[in-house]
Structure 1
Amino acid sequence: MTVPVLGLEELEAAARPRVVLDTVRAALIAHAEGRTTVPPPLHMEFPEAEGDCHVKAGWIAGGDDFTVKIASGFYRNSALGMPTNSGLVCVLSARTGQVRAVLDDRGWLTAWRTAAAGALITHAMSRPEAAMLGVFGTGEQARLQVRWLAMLRPLTKVLVCGRSERKAAALCEWLGGHGLDAEPAGAEEAAGADIVVTTTPATAPVLEADAVRPGAHVTGIGADMPHKNELPPALFRRAETIATDDHDQCLHHGDFGRAVRAGAVAQDCDIAAGALLLRQMQRSATAITVADLTGVGALDAALASALLRAAGA
């Protein structure tokens, strides 16, 4: 039997934002409730090429499919005129173990899943009236995080902080073309926004803990491997609520784990991100909240199945 291969065009047509958001929300809740199987991810680093690769797998109990995903990020590629991210997803039957399909997604399923998870958790944990967003990073994930969060709540201003002034300006122009008021900003200014989202491959904190204002929410997206680091331990110490998408995974190679090992917080002080989506979060007006998201394989499985159904495959 020939295994179907779905290309990026087919997947893009199926990946309507509402489909992705609803699927990821349900998968985060399932994971918080213990209805998933998610083995530890495999990861590799390629320092000479400033690249990394991770392999993640997952299954949601009762689901027809499980997935094994390869996702890479090679951060010098933009200078070569090539995409930073790539990869593919293998979808297998949870009934027979047979390969159902290969998704030649070039890393986009990971990007959509990450954007949806970040937007959902950021929206849930931010103050209802919070409307100024500071985003660290200028790549595709920064674009997606801003756009998808804007689908869930109005944003009055977007402050973009990036290593390259040219790329920060280009992102602001792109966001402006999509109806968002955006301008380049320094790290301290961006960190002082109502909502802060970090989307970088940084190996050292991109902001100072003291720059985050009382009442703010911060979501860290980029630290998905042990060598990466975006948020300082002192920020977690200041937080009233800390959410993780996967407790063990974030302990092992997320910024939450760095904060625990630094003695800033206890290792049992976090709450499952999916649990926060089941109810409206209660928070004080001056509380700082933090979410550490490292990417969960069960979300990939859920989204791959949803896109296969939407594509009629």
Structure 2
Amino acid sequence: MTLPVFDQTAIEKAVTTRLVLDTVRDALIAHAEGRTSVPPPLHMAFPEADGDCHVKAGWITGAADFTVKIATGFYGNPVLGLPSNHGLVCVVSARTGQMRALLDDGGLLTAWRTAAAGALITHAMARPDATTLAVFGTGEQARLQATWLAELRTIGTVLVHGRSPHKANALCEQLHARGLDARPAAPQEAAAADMVITTTPATSPVLDATHVREGAHVTGIGTDMPHKNELPPALFHRARLIATDDHTQCLDHGDFGHAVRAGATGQHSDTAAGDLLKGPVDRPEAAITLADLTGVGALDAALASAALDQLLH
């Protein structure tokens, strides 16, 4: 039997944004309720090439499939005319151990999973009347976070901060094409937005905690390896509500872990992101809320299985 292989084009045709959002929401809730199996991720760094690789596996209890995923990020690739991110997902039967399919998605499902998780938790934790969004970073994930959050709530203005003015302007043009009002912003202005999402491979904080105003929500999605760091520990100290997608992972290599080791917050001060997606979040109007997302293999498993179902029918 030949293993079916589906490429990025086929996946894009078969999978809708709504399917991704619904699948990721359900998977985050399942993970919060302990209905998943997620071994520790494997990390490799390639400093000479400014690259890294992650291997993640996951299974949701009772699901027909589990997955093993390889995802790479080589951040100098655009200079070579190549995308920064790549990867593939192997879908395996959880009943027979037989390989069901290979999703040669070029990292697409990882990007979608990340975008959905960030948009869902930002929407859930931000004030209902929050309309100004700031993104730190100018790549694919910054674009996805803004456009997918706009699927869930009204976005008035998107402030874009990046190290390269050219890339920040280019992202603003992409967002304009998708109907969003976007403009470049200095880091202090961006950090003062109603909602802030950081989408960078930074190794030191990209914003100053004192610039985040009361009532704001901040989501960090870029700290997925021990050497990375986007959010300052002082911001965790100011936060009234902290969400993590996986407590152990975030403590080991997330911004939450950096803050705990710095003594800025307690080891058990976080709440599972999935628990906050079950209903309206009780947040004081002036509270700063914070989410640290490191990427959970069970979400990859759920999304890959949902995508395969669409591809086969």
Q: In the alignment, does 2:97 pair up with 1:97?
A: yes
Quick one: distance in 2 between partners of 1:146 and 1:164?
A: 18
SS of the equivalent of 1:301 reads helix
Identify the residue that residue 45 of structure 1 maps to in structure 2: 45
Q: Which amino acid aligns with 1:46?
A: F
SS of the equivalent of 2:82 reads coil
Identify the residue that residue 23 of structure 1 maps to in structure 2: 23
SS of the equivalent of 1:66 reads strand
Identify the residue that residue 189 of structure 1 maps to in structure 2: 189
Report how far residue 202 of structure 1 moved: 0.3
Identify the residue that residue 83 of structure 2 maps to in structure 1: 83
Counterparts in 2 of 1:1-313, with a 5 A limit? 1-312=1-312
Partner deviation per Cα, 1:195-217 (whole Å, 9 max, x = no partner): 00000000000000000000000
Q: Which amino acid aligns with 1:61?
A: T
Quick one: distance in 1 between partners of 2:15 and 2:224?
A: 23
SS of the equivalent of 1:96 reads coil
Partner deviation per Cα, 1:108-153 (whole Å, 9 max, x = no partner): 1100000000000000000000000010000000000000000000
Quick one: distance in 1 between partners of 2:134 and 2:303?
A: 28
SS of the equivalent of 1:160 reads strand
| Moved segments of 4+, more than 4 Å | none
Q: Which amino acid aligns with 1:230?
A: E
Report how far residue 61 of structure 1 moved: 0.3
Report how far residue 177 of structure 1 moved: 1.1
Report how far residue 14 of structure 1 moved: 1.8
Report how far residue 279 of structure 1 moved: 1.4
Report how far residue 15 of structure 1 moved: 2.1
Quick one: distance in 1 between partners of 2:275 and 2:103?
A: 30
Q: Which amino acid aligns with 2:242?
A: I
Quick one: distance in 2 between partners of 1:50 and 1:183?
A: 28
SS of the equivalent of 2:312 reads coil
Q: Please, what is the CA RMSD of the aligned residues?
A: 0.6
For structure 2, list consecutive stretches of 5 or more residues without a partner in the other structure. none
Q: Which amino acid aligns with 2:38?
A: V
Report how far residue 284 of structure 1 moved: 1.0
Quick one: distance in 2 between partners of 1:252 and 1:86?
A: 24
TM-score where L is the length of structure 2: 0.99
Paired residue total? 313
Q: Which amino acid aligns with 2:177?
A: G
Quick one: distance in 2 between partners of 1:18 and 1:311?
A: 16
